Structure 1
Amino acid sequence: MPLKNTGTEQLIKDTAKRLLFAEGKLHATTQEIADAAGVNRTGLHYYFRSRDQLVAAIFQDALQGLSQRLDECMLSGQPFKAKTERMIYVFLKELMAYPYEETFLITEINTYGKKLVANIQSAPVKTYLVEAATAMEEGLIDKTNPIHFLMNLFSLLSYPLIMAPLYKKMFKLTEKEFQQLLDERAQVIMNVLFRK
């Protein structure tokens, strides 16, 4: 069997990622993805036998990228507050570029269960939680279970983007106005989480 052209395979995955994560077309068909990638559906099926196989590959890439960004932030040598601020910046940048990625990941995890996240490493998270506990003792952040601190951080980052269509409608925000709120979000999150 001849070697597969990984350039075409990557093009298909990148196109699917754009459609799903950037444009919010979470139910895009293989035909729509093939058309957008400029390949025929037979070509797409050469690399990915089914839509489920393509979605699984995209999911794994997205989860791996998320884990890598998280690890890099959590294991940096910066002080806890600076590390957290960096994590907020990195995640907001990614979330703004791909506003539907979180929705996609949550949907896939809820649909297919724990097996999708079985390979996530928790060592960087454990290290970060120890640092959060130390920051609590130092009075930098409120005392609580450090897990609550991290869940609050992720919620403050993700929820506004997951709910963006509703918020734009509810608050009668233009795309530009909503983007301005997101630009302000990093400082708002830091003010909510940190005492000083």
Structure 2
Amino acid sequence: MSSRDTGTEQLIKNTAKHLFFAEGKLHATTQEIADAAGVNRTLVNYYFRSRDILFDQVFNEAQEDLFQTLDDVFESDMPFKEKIKNLISVFLKEAMQFPYRELFIITEMNRHDVINAKKARIQKVNTFLEEIQLEMDKGTIKTMNPRHFAINLFSLMAYPLVTAPLNRILFGMNDEDYSALMEERKQLIFEIIFL
């Protein structure tokens, strides 16, 4: 019985992630993935049997990676302001490397009508929302529904990255200039959300 070359399998998956998350080619074909990986399309089919299975594996891993990143921040014992500063830094760092990851996750959720909201995940988010409410009660952030605070925070971080190609054209910026702008944005977001 022959053994599978997990290096090739991982190469194909990593290439698909790069195409989807870094280049924004959310609907890349099996042939495009094979070409970018430098392998024969038959190998993609051998390891994943279909484009949908490859997409599902990439989606599941991306979703878990994103949740793990958020969990690491939400579950830390840092004071709230430090926690938010760390969240902004970590999120923007990853999003600058993979600006289309969240868009891919949302697209795949819509395509499959999937909401993978486990009870443990909901409890972690609720704990974070409780922390936000405590900060509002202290007067360090503007009073609002804590869900709005979380949505505003993620919007301030994600939107400029999802719209980066358009923004680069509108502002006449190259990739390096736009990356510098996003680095400046980390502090700006922090200053916007705290009173």
Give the TM bin, normalised by the shorter chain.
over 0.9
- Looking at structure 2, the residues matched to 102 and 144 of structure 1 have their Cα atoms a distance apart, in angstroms, of 25
1:5 aligned onto 2:5: yes
> What do residues 97-127 of structure 1 show as CA deviations (whole Å, max 9, x unaligned)?
11121221222222222x2534482222111
Instruction: Please show how residues 21-40 of structure 1 align to structure 2 within 5 Å.
Output: 21-40=21-40
- Structure 1: tracts of 5 or more residues without a match: none
The number of residues matched between the two structures is 194
Instruction: Please show how residues 1-196 of structure 1 align to structure 2 within 5 Å.
Output: 2-113=2-113, 115-119=114-118, 121-195=121-195
- Looking at structure 2, the residues matched to 66 and 38 of structure 1 have their Cα atoms a distance apart, in angstroms, of 28
Once the 2 structures are TM-superposed, how far is the Cα of residue 27 of structure 1 from its aligned partner? 2.4
- Looking at structure 1, the residues matched to 129 and 117 of structure 2 have their Cα atoms a distance apart, in angstroms, of 20
Once the 2 structures are TM-superposed, how far is the Cα of residue 5 of structure 1 from its aligned partner? 2.9
Q: Match of 1:13, as an amino acid?
A: K
What CA RMSD, in Å, does the superposition of the two structures yield over aligned residues?
1.6
**What is the TM-score when the length of structure 1 is the normalising length?**
0.92
- Looking at structure 2, the residues matched to 70 and 135 of structure 1 have their Cα atoms a distance apart, in angstroms, of 19
Percent identical across equivalent pairs? 51
Q: Match of 1:48, as an amino acid?
A: F
Comparing 185-194 with 165-174, greater Cα deviation is found at 165-174
**What is the TM-score when the length of structure 2 is the normalising length?**
0.93
- Looking at structure 2, the residues matched to 92 and 145 of structure 1 have their Cα atoms a distance apart, in angstroms, of 24
